[in-house]
Structure 1
Amino acid sequence: MRQQLSKIFSKNETQILWPEDAKLFFSMLKETWSTFPNILERKINDLLDEALPTQMKAFHLYKTCQRENLWNESFEKFVQCIDSFFSIPRSERRKSALDAHLDRPLSMAIYDEFHLDFHCAIVNQSSLQNIATWAHYTIRVNRKADSVVISDDVLTKTLQTVTRPPAHEKAENITFEDFCDAWKKVVFRLFGRKYDPEFNEILKELRWLKTLPEHPENETPEEGPRFVPTIYLTQTEIDWTTAVQAAVLDNSEVPRYPLSKGPTKQRLIDLKRTISLYNIVRTTTTPEFLKHRDSIRATILSLCDRLLKERAR
């Protein structure tokens, strides 16, 4: 098997796709697809973690703080202060961090007004585009189709619809069905009913995936919204994972793992092995390997996203 694979590569392609690496990759790809609706839900709602208040929301908070004698300087300086507060990861935000910027501690009732939803938040468009790209590649690879209804453009417009809701529509705790409703509206607005048959088939499969249990039968998920980290990452590991994610999104060369001994944590080992496959197919012209490029790309993006979201903070 190894000799056969070696012959497929050109002289410049010295790395070999070992059978165990391929088995690992397809296993991870299958897991990503089976949990796609749930992962997409989390990705959409997590956009609020790094969102900033709209100008109108910021002005409302400014006037409230003035009225309560919490702030007596300019609006411009107030915006700088609250932007600094909202730059803290949402899970780490504390009232004390906001109190430090104000003339005196604010009440819990006023602090609650600093809560953001999609009605009053400015979402990071780069993060939104990353979700659209990930969703596009994941659906394209697993459905083995490249329909216009799953294009980057359509999925980006769908996410923008979800994250810029009218006043009467849902603005937080977005579900996969909320995403599907917005998706249908965007597809109909752009194409009418031209692609209904293939679009309905895609929706049917994705909705079926949503009915599957996300946790193995022998595990009971934690109740409530408490965040439970599943892995501890050093700053070096965080920086490398972030750099890998950025490189794959840009279709550029993936940085090497920074420590010569290599990663020791199994999930990072799995990521490094998948990157080895990606490095092969990123520049190959061999059809046998080229056809796996998008699926490997989608898998790496999913692995990086889960590592960064599930790490201890």
Structure 2
Amino acid sequence: MPNSTTVTDFLLTRFSEVWEDRVLHTMLFLLIYLATLMGNFLIVTVTTLDKKLHIPMFFFLRNLSALDMCYISVTIPKACVIFLPENTAISMAGCAAQIFFLLWFAYIELVLLTVMAWDRYVAICQPLHYSVIMNPWLCVQMTLAALLSGVGSAGFHTGNTFRLPFCQSNVVHPFFCDMPFLLKLSCSDTLSNEISLFIFAVVIDGGCFAFITMSYIHIFSTVLKFPTRGERGKAFSTCVPHILVVTIFLSSAVAVYMKPTSSSPTIQDMITSVFYSIVPPFLNPIIYSLRNKQIKEAVRKMMSRKLYLGKP
């Protein structure tokens, strides 16, 4: 597209133009999407119906699962739409909406993962004060604060991006609209955008990562003092998967968002973007349902109740 032409819509990029690969990618993404929806919906249902799971830890897990169903719905349905047809266009408004919701849900995801680390810290390091510190009203307040502050953050960055003129190219490199890749398409100075993005990353992402790291340093120092190996193993089994999700989520997002806008997008950038937009929502139900005895027991009780009621 020549420099004099103003962009009115964008063209998303597929992983491959080979038809067989496109069909394979569509099937793979659909399977991931359905598995993510089913896994997270199961956690939401179980933690809502089982009153024994009405504690702060599962309150945040329920919110995380509900969020993940929304988070993964921002990217995969549109990706599946562009993988098969020849038309890969997305409107300017659609692109803006995709960026807004991606930033909003990613922000809440990070805050919830941080709060869950603090919840584990209080449960393991200050068990006698757990019910007082993690009271229901505080849990609701923290969740609402994450939702509302996320709206402001996503709105600011989305508006700051779409105030720029796009008149060089309309080809967005990944399979969804994402702010770093969109900045590369602007024909004006994006320094202020990069500075605001860097400050946000340092303050929010860096702050959350530091908080999570400190929480787990205290957790591990306490766990190592447990008298039996079984207690240590139980504590580690609840913490290590959480660290894994946080590491994948933050490292992949930083790799894309902190990359200079002057550098050209690559297939590695597209693959990396999968790790912060799709992998965390997909992994969370697997990690928290398969490795949590209370969740598994609640699922068994729910299934046995359904089978019993279904008998003639």
* Same fold flag (TM > 0.5): no
TM-score under structure 2 length normalisation: 0.29
Query: Which structure features the higher share of helix residues?
Result: 2
TM-score under structure 1 length normalisation: 0.29
